[in-house]
Amino acid sequence: MKNFVEELKWRGMIHDITPGAEEELMKGPAAAYVGIDPTGDSLHIGHLVSVMILKHFQNCGHKPYALVGGATGMIGDPSMKSAERNLLDEETLGHNVECIKAQLGRFLDFDSDSPNAAKLVNNYDWMKDYTFINFARDIGKLITVNYMMSKDSVKKRLSRDSSEGMSFTEFSYQLLQGYDFLYLYEHEGVRLQLGGADQWGNITTGTELIRRTLGEQAFALTCPLITKSDGTKFGKTEKGNIWLDPKKTSPYEFYQFWLNVADDDAEKYIKIFTMLDRETIESAIEEHRQDPGRRSLQQLLAKEVTIMIHGETEYANALAASKMLFGNSTSEELRKLDEKTFLAVFNGVPTFDVPKSELPCNILDFLAVKTGVFPSKGEARKMTAGGGVSINKDKVTDINYEVSEKDIMDGKYILAQKGKKNYFIINVI
């Protein structure tokens, strides 16, 4: 059996681990779980570390459980939060749970007949009929308030520096998560909980609850919270989170995020976010260090993660789209882009509106009168005749060329290019 802990160690994916966990896992196939609160209808790349750990767990011959927190999602985890989050209604949570289920299927084998096939559980199933009185009597009496307040997630919110404080609802989250671990230990034989470093307090509350209730030993393993070398938050852009849902973050934008990470981050991320083996990764890092300007490591990272999340076809589309701005792409390749990718590729370029009724239109009038691509027809004539103008990636050198409806892409766009790097989108309205 492959050593799960050793696999995570060389990848830099262990922050804390309880004594005896590694020895326990080497005895034979074991079960472990990761909890995900369904606060949105898509996972984002901040979730990926925990999900990748589950994937490695399964690859090492163990049985992974993905727990979607239909119940705890109604409360909200205070860990690493400065203020209480908005609570979601049951219908919204149900929708989010279904969406997350589908995304997890890209990483884990849920459907095979293998004894270590992954299993998805929802803590709403065992919490929905558990009354407050019974929970307080059965579980609440086992963990002291002193113990709960010693956890960093609680202390930070109750410190003098915090103006928000903490509601009883949030305070109870720790106990509810601990109960999840106890429930899965009793009903599924799960002896290990996995999660981010910010979850250590919640997870160890679970191990303590198991010890006090059953007199048994359970284990915890957490991974580091991923940071960027410049100190900014991982997985965030100016537009917000990088989502796994292609409707929220296009495969092109997703690919670009990984392609543009710093060199130091690329060396760290390729170990964490890909399934490439140690030899391949170390060779790729060495190759990159020899010639960082080629950004070969970023290209490999972006390829592997994009294929894992979106598949080969979307990776190929993202690669073609990336070449659009800087490569020798063709009109045919441009027209293959879907609207969302097209707008993502050319995000931020100047745009002009031209009524469809004004087409066909002479190229010089189109570029200098109907739009502001050129400040004058004279400049437009000079650059067009010199081969510096393209419409939809097709070079136009004839100053008598008529821009017409045949040049419209997706029924609404024309892409004009001036020189090598100056692009303009014309919206045909």
Q: What angle do CA 130, 135, 136 make, to 5 degrees?
A: 150
CA dihedral sign of residues 343, 345, 350, 356: negative
Which residue in 106, 119, 156, 198 is the catalytic one? Answer: 198
Which residue in 92, 213, 217, 237 is the catalytic one? Answer: 237
Q: Which long-range contacts (CB under 8 A, 24 or more apart) does 196-199 make?
A: 196/15, 196/49, 196/50, 196/222, 196/223, 196/224, 196/225, 197/15, 197/16, 197/222, 197/223, 197/224, 197/225, 198/79, 198/80, 198/153, 198/225, 199/35, 199/79
Q: Is 187 tagged catalytic?
A: no
Residue 254 and residue 243: Cα distance in Å, rounded?
A: 8
Name beta bridge partners: 425.
351, 415
Q: Is 370 tagged catalytic?
A: no
Q: Is 191 tagged catalytic?
A: no
Q: Is 233 tagged catalytic?
A: yes
Residue 153 and residue 156: Cα distance in Å, rounded?
A: 6
Q: Is 177 tagged catalytic?
A: yes
12: phi then psi, degrees, rounded to nearest 5 = 70, 35
Between helix 278-290 and helix 296-310 the angle, nearest 10°, is 140
Measure Cα distances from 401 to 330, 364, 384, 385, 405 in Å: 19, 8, 10, 11, 13
Which residue in 58, 174, 177, 384 is the catalytic one? Answer: 177
SS3 category, 114: coil
Q: Is 198 tagged catalytic?
A: yes
Q: Is 81 tagged catalytic?
A: yes
Which residue in 39, 213, 217, 330 is the catalytic one? Answer: 39
Which residue in 128, 155, 187, 233 is the catalytic one? Answer: 233
Closest to 267 measured CA to CA, from 30, 80, 11 = 11
Residue 9 and residue 373: Cα distance in Å, rounded?
A: 55
- The beta strand positions in 119-202, using DSSP E, are 119-122, 192-196
Which residue in 47, 191, 268, 418 is the catalytic one? Answer: 47
Which residue in 151, 236, 248, 377 is the catalytic one? Answer: 236
Q: Is 237 tagged catalytic?
A: yes
What DSSP letter does each residue of 385-409 carry, written as one string?
HTT-EEETTEE---TTPEE-GGG-B
Residue type for position 57 = F
SS3 category, 66: strand
Only one residue has tokens 């100056």, namely 422
SS3 category, 106: coil
Residue 159 and residue 137: Cα distance in Å, rounded?
A: 29
Measure Cα distances from 69 to 72, 130, 132, 224 in Å: 5, 15, 18, 22
Q: What is the 3-state secondary structure (H, E, C) of 282-308?
A: HHHHHHHHHCHHHCHHHHHHHHHHHHH
What DSSP letter does each residue of 226-240 carry, written as one string?
PB-TTSSBTTEETTE
Give the residue numbers annotated as catalytic, written as ranges: 39, 44, 47, 81, 85, 177, 198, 233, 236-237
